[in-house]
Amino acid sequence: MKKNLFFFLFFFSFSVFAISNTLEKDSLKFSERMAISIMNRNPIVWQIDDNKKPKWDYKPSFVLTAFEKLYKKTKNRNYSIYIKDYIDTFIDSTGSIGHYDCNEFNLDGLNPGKLLFDIYQDTKDKRYLSALKLLRKQLDKQPRTLSGGFWHKNIYPNQMWMDGVYMALPFYTQYAVTFDDLKSLDDVAKQFELVHDHILDTKSNLPYHAWDESKVIAWANPETGNSPTIWSRGIGFYTMALVDVLDYFPKSHPKYKELLGYLSEVATAIMQQQDKSGLWFQITDKQKLSGNYLEASGSAMFAYTFAKAANKGYLPIKYKKIANTTFDALLNNFVNEGENGEIHLGQISQGIGLGGTPFRDGSNNYYLTAKINSDNSMGVGAFMLAALELNR
């Protein structure tokens, strides 16, 4: 409790000072303005998204992925301290991870592991290495579909979700390259092949949110096993996974060009669904569907994907211009400034899932009636990532 109080006071005083500077000098880029706003609203990191208790979770770690990139760019230690405080809330002296149960086989729990690579490299503290190894062991035992795809969670048998593709594969790839486990890259490529061969809609070339290989869950198409809806944030998870994996995937690997091809294919398909505003709808391929709306997190994920892919040479440079257009549209439509100088991002779809109790049927109506809020982690994290790639 004393530790948390210290960080609350530290970050509160830092945030107010930094915001004050923003208003006086207007010198900070949107990536930093959003970072400071997040810290101001959430002095304790796990409180992001109004969480009431600590949780080893993909949501704050998604935001902290952007903080990690921001720290590397600015060298401002306040950002790295914010990250490390979250990690040290959970990892004890032995490297065990609090609020994490390997036997749940939840791919979401791997996403925070990406933050451990740099912390371990910087500190050489072996407890972070032990935590990395613990997370990696989950994948050795992760249940799989008959064709070899990771189940999203133990409670979702035979199901691959786009969320899980993002949560697991960048971590899996970085671990393989960092610790000379290059044979695992074949498995990474296999996961993407399954998405491409089974989850992409043959008409739009966009992925559905999920796939049940057994075709037994009530939301599954009885012929394909796919869920009913093509969801922008789900596509965003897929595209972000591709560009982040390509950062570590060796160009010499025989599947490297295949992954580039998947990215090019889906980028072309995404562009065919872009609204004239520069944004994308919650249900990506049904712009005229009653109740459909332009949504911030998916649009920001596409801006990040396009900007990064253009910067890295994975996609043609024209995608950088598209990303800038989308970022302008986010600013014009969804970003507003509070009285104290904080910035807020609105029109973000709240958490979306499938199955479970009460049962989520994956229908178009389910996605359109999910709560919409401001400053949700999926939106602000993607906004920061896009801003960083665009140097905005």
Q: Give catalytic residues, as residue numbers.
A: 163
The SS3 assignment for 30 reads helix
Largest CA distance in the chain: 60
**Which pair of tokens denotes residue 176?**
């393989």
Residue with tokens 């965003």: 236
**Cβ–Cβ < 8 Å for 283, 289:** yes
Handedness of CA 47, 52, 53, 57 (dihedral sign): negative
Q: What are phi and psi of 338, to 5 degrees?
A: -80, 175
Count Cα atoms within 13 angstroms, Cβ side, for 306.
28
As given in the structure block, the two tokens for residue 126 are 């072996």
Alpha helix stretches (DSSP H) within the chain: 2-25, 30-41, 58-74, 77-90, 114-123, 126-141, 162-178, 184-194, 232-246, 256-271, 296-312, 318-333, 364-369, 377-390
Beta strands in the chain (DSSP E): 159-161, 210-212, 280-281, 294-295, 335-337, 343-345, 348-349, 372-373
How far is the C-alpha of 329 from the C-alpha of 323, rounded, in Å?
Answer: 10
Q: Which of 171, 173, 191 is CA-nearest to residue 131?
A: 171
Do 169 and 245 contact (CB within 8 A), yes or no? yes
Structure tokens at 121: 């490299």
| Residue found by looking up tokens 């109740």 in the block | 291
Q: Which residues lie closer than 8 Å to 105 by C-beta, 6 or more apart?
A: 138, 141, 142, 143, 151, 153, 154
Q: Which tokens in the block code for residue 214?
A: 């057994």
